[in-house]
Chain A
Amino acid sequence: MKLDRINVKEAFRYMGYGSSTPDDNVLSIAEECERLLLEVIDAKYVYRYFRIEEICTSDTTDRKAGVILDGCDLALMGNSISEHLKGCEGAVLFAVTLSEGVDRLIRKLELSSMASAVIVDSMASAAIEQVCDIAEQEILEKLSDRYATWRFSPGYGDFPIESQKKFLEVLSASKRIGVNITQGGLMTPCKSVTAVMGISDREVDRKRRGCSVCSMRESCAFRRKGEHCGV
């Protein structure tokens, strides 16, 4: 997959600019940063579609809330994911990465120019969202005439971040796109994302995730200012 531009506006929002426009000096550095970043991004994704066997929510059963997938050893646990997938017959598990070149570029820039490193880091965060959008579209095209919920990732709400290891294993993400995990549960390369989309034959509520299920809601700088991070 190839990105032609980076959503620079979004990247500046991540850097705290809000509605302000960066000065010319920063803009000209950012231009160079965008060029460098586009050169090293090697965006890849992998996905699998699973039929949903059962959704247990707290109001339907006294068992632990979670979603059981057919032929998959990973149960998606928690109320939030169960609510999210309500009404869906299937789920797509997918993983996306910008690849290791981005990590390397940021490491290098941290030595020569920390300002550029910060800008590239924010731009890469914007880029991975763009890549997720494209991946989502391509996946949906292959699942013709079906509808999808918004993306929901391990760590949102009570969907345990500890599922990450098995999540990646189910997708053979290490083998297929080179995404691994650290002992602390972080994905490497750094700019990688995993997510679940509910799939249905009928139109479904997209269910954007918002602040209520976000683990950052207590410390979020956007929220403090009355803004929103955009996801």
Chain B
Amino acid sequence: MCAACGKAVLFAGKVSIVEFKELLLRKNKASRKYILLDGAMGTMLQASGLKLGQVPEVLSFTDEELLIGIHRQYIESGSDIIYTNTFGANRYKLEGCGYSVRQAIKKGIANARKASEGTDCIVALDIGPIGRLVEPTGDLKFEEAYDIYKEQVLAGTDADIIVFETMTDLLELKAAVLAAKENSELPVICTMTFEQNMRTFTGCQVSAMALTMEGLGVDALGVNCSLGPDELVPVVEELRRFTSLPIVVKPNAGLPDPVTNEYNVGPQDFAEKMVKMAGIGATIMGGCCGTTPAYISELKKALDGAEFVCERADIPSAVCSASNTVIIDQPRIIGERINPTGKKLFKQALKEHNLDYIMNQALEQIEGGAEILDVNVGLPEINEKNMMVDAIRAIQSVCDVPLQIDSTIPEVLEAGLRIYCGKPIVNSVNGEEESLNNVLPLVKKYGACVIGLTLDANGIPKTAGERVAIARKILDRALAIGIPKENVFIDCLTLTASAEQDGVMETLNALHTVRYELGLNTVLGVSNISFGLPYRELVNQNFLTMALSYGLTLPIINPNVVSMTGAVRAFRLLTGIDRNSMDYIRNYSGYAPTKAVVTEKTADRGNQAGVMAGTDGTVKGTLEYAVENGLKNEGARLTEQMLETMEPLDIINGTLIPALDRIGKNFEKGKVFLPQLILAAEVTQVSFEVIKKKLAADNRTPVSKGKIVMATVKGDVHDIGKNIVKVILENYGYTVIDLGKDVDYMTVVNAAIEHKAKLVGLSALMTTTLVSMEKTIQLLREYKVDCKIVVGGAVLTPEYAKQIGADYYAKDAMDTVAVAREVIG
């Protein structure tokens, strides 16, 4: 701690490579001001005749001398660390090459060892990406990725250090680092491949990589491959802003010519450009594609004469997803809506495992202005741990705001922390011993931020002083196990004003002390303040404004309430954070507070256009008309109106379904096209939601004609077709149990049995995945599941459907409705 300001001093002095201390000491490299890596392996192998597409690891066995020779050349050029020839030595890439992962890795390390005999060169187990992407873009499960890396790590215990390089996906890298940390004691270096736009191909930011990987406890991090040294300067500068770890740079020799495969930056040029890196904070350097021993020799010469001076900056308090870093240098809005407490529809969605509902809650809050989302899925009758994992996966597949994992159960927190892609917040720990002992180690291990509640075994203390004491205790305990100060946020707890009026100022005073004396970011759940009072919004908004003035940085609110989000934005404007009021103007320019449901902006576009999409003379202003013309808001309004005098079922059977039928018929006749059909279904969907809400309010169970299990089969990740069918089926009143894409055969069988589904729908897009469809059907038959099976998908034909044992073939969504009517009614 700095005596003068009480701030944790992370960077006393200059950048160095001390973090490798023990290893470097052992290898007589502790006094070095930089560490020299090697150059490319692939380039050298290709120069010796390796064909493109051949498995390079095979050469470790078939041409051992070649490999040892290459390693030696690099050592002679001055490399302190050499990378083994094991970049693609994983079970997926080695498939069919004749060598196992274990053999390839052991041999790769043995060759490097042989080459470095008699030197103090460090041998790094080199591991590249798997070659298949993890979900949601790819089909690889996080656990599968972990397992693949674990196998490599366990095979590589003979190395001195583990390097993960050329990574593009942050979640895949997280699986790799966890596999290394949990299965070996070796130091870990990781580098990702950033493009000119400062992101990887999967959109990962430099800051997100630095924050997440430093949190997971790697020993050095940086960038490799990608581009030439010039283009990587901004990447290194950005890394320096967000990490205190040693920075690695291993660029390409420029870019390759696609015809000659030659790179455009020569050895001397490369070395000169790399000297710049020394001045901006890199201390571990080498070359990637296109570089050779000549490059490394030149690099050594240049770096020996370089000045390694770079003052470190303070690392900001920040959270992130892979593609969005939120720095908490100003009040940031945490959305509270993903939480079942007191919400009937949310509880029902959890019971039905309705992830779409949760994803929509997330998107709605972001639209409202949320910058971080709290995720709480605790409900006694469900498996909270599995639900947390599924919810986080689903949310991160469609939005990029950082998440706050909210549970009282440590196992749930850990499950969420594992698969979260980025640096999250844990909600929460408190001053109780049990909580501190259970939660803080998880926060440390996964590199998260944590909210500390100022309560303990004796409950919430009355006075500000006592709450600050608990805050201090939580901070001390966090610091003691290595959680940095900037990762600790304190919640001084909002009490209800109507019950404990004097408590309001105690909360605010405690908050002020925590913010300005302890120097921590502060959290408050705001809405609790007004419980039991009329016109709660007014009290909430005023309390929020007061709290912000007292130093609140992380308000937890309902961002969909305009006055609450507005209070934060106005505060940022008035305190000069929002420079030139840019953000405020962007959000509220032209805004007129109104309670009307249909404003000009949200009015249906089709209204003015006066479209008559396949209408057979339906009257404007009716629900039928709204459905047939795709008018969503109009549909919702009219449904509400009709519910005042009509029974829900009568609306569904008397109006919605006949309207859908009409448009469906016109679709079949070719008078109406797919987008219109779906638009009509969307209006029906909105109508159904209105009806559902009404039923929930009346404590009645929602109407369903019966359950249908749907899945895009194993191996297939294209599921838009299935999703279209799902929307249409739901709007005919069927409950669809959507198993998603790339679904295991057995999962389909289990779901069909569990839900007693009368109909199972399977979809496949490619010829290669039709086999999976057939296998799923076989298994359904083997287990004698009492259901009919309908199949569809681009490459299917009625004949083929019959051949693989399906009961029905449906060419499109309307066809599937016909099948459902026949089977279920």
Contact = CB atoms under 8 A, between A and B. Distances in A.
A208 interface: no
Contacts of A99: 201
Contact of A182 (B168, B717, B794, B795): B717
Interface in A170-196: 170, 174-175, 177-178, 180-186, 188-190
**Chain A CB within 10 Å, residue with most, of B259, B359, B676, B727:** B259
B54 A73 contact: yes
A24 B611 contact: yes
Nearest to A120: B720
A112 B201 CA distance: 26
A47 B258 contact: yes
Contacts of A162: 768
Interface in B183-197: 193, 197
Contact of B717 (A17, A119, A190): A190
B679 A190 contact: no
A63 interface: no
A154 to B, nearest CB: 11
Contacts of B629: 25
Given A174-B131, A185-B768, A219 B682 contact: no
Contacts of A23: 609, 611, 613, 676
B217 interface: no
Contacts of A58: none
Nearest to B397: A107
Given A28-B605, A72-B52, A108-B398, A175 B678 contact: no
Contacts of B676: 23, 25-26, 115
B266 interface: no
A101 interface: yes
B702 interface: no
Given A22-B675, A24-B606, A219-B797, A115 B131 contact: no
Q: Classify chain B: how many residues form its interface, as a range.
A: 35 or more
A99 to B, nearest CB: 7
Contacts of A72: 51-53
A226 interface: no
A180 B133 contact: yes
B321 to A, nearest CB: 12
Nearest to A27: B609
Contact of B720 (A121, A139, A183, A189): A121
Contacts of B160: none
A231 to B, nearest CB: 14
A15 B139 CA distance: 27
B129 A118 contact: no
A135 to B, nearest CB: 11
Nearest to B765: A186
Contact of A115 (B356, B678, B714): B678
Nearest to A181: B132
A48 B679 contact: no
Nearest to A116: B675
Contacts of B715: 182-186
Interface string A18-35: 101011111011100000
B228 interface: no
Contacts of A24: 605-606, 609, 611
B818 interface: no
Contacts of A18: 670
B225 A71 contact: no
B378 interface: no
Nearest to B199: A42
B202 A100 contact: yes
A185 B201 contact: no
Contact of A175 (B225, B742, B795): B225
Interface string A108-130: 10111111011101000000000
A227 interface: no
Contacts of B133: 180, 182, 188
Interface string B351-367: 00000100110010000
Interface of B: 51-54, 129, 131-133, 136-140, 166, 168, 193, 197, 200-203, 225, 258-259, 261, 356, 359-360, 363, 397-399, 605-606, 609, 611, 613, 629-630, 670, 673-676, 678-679, 681-682, 714-718, 720, 723-724, 727, 742, 765-769, 772, 794-797
26 contacts: A15-B673, A25-B609, A25-B611, A25-B613, A26-B676, A26-B679, A29-B679, A48-B261, A49-B259, A73-B53, A100-B137, A103-B136, A104-B397, A107-B397, A111-B360, A118-B678, A161-B768, A166-B53, A182-B140, A184-B714, A185-B715, A185-B768, A186-B717, A188-B133, A215-B767, A216-B794
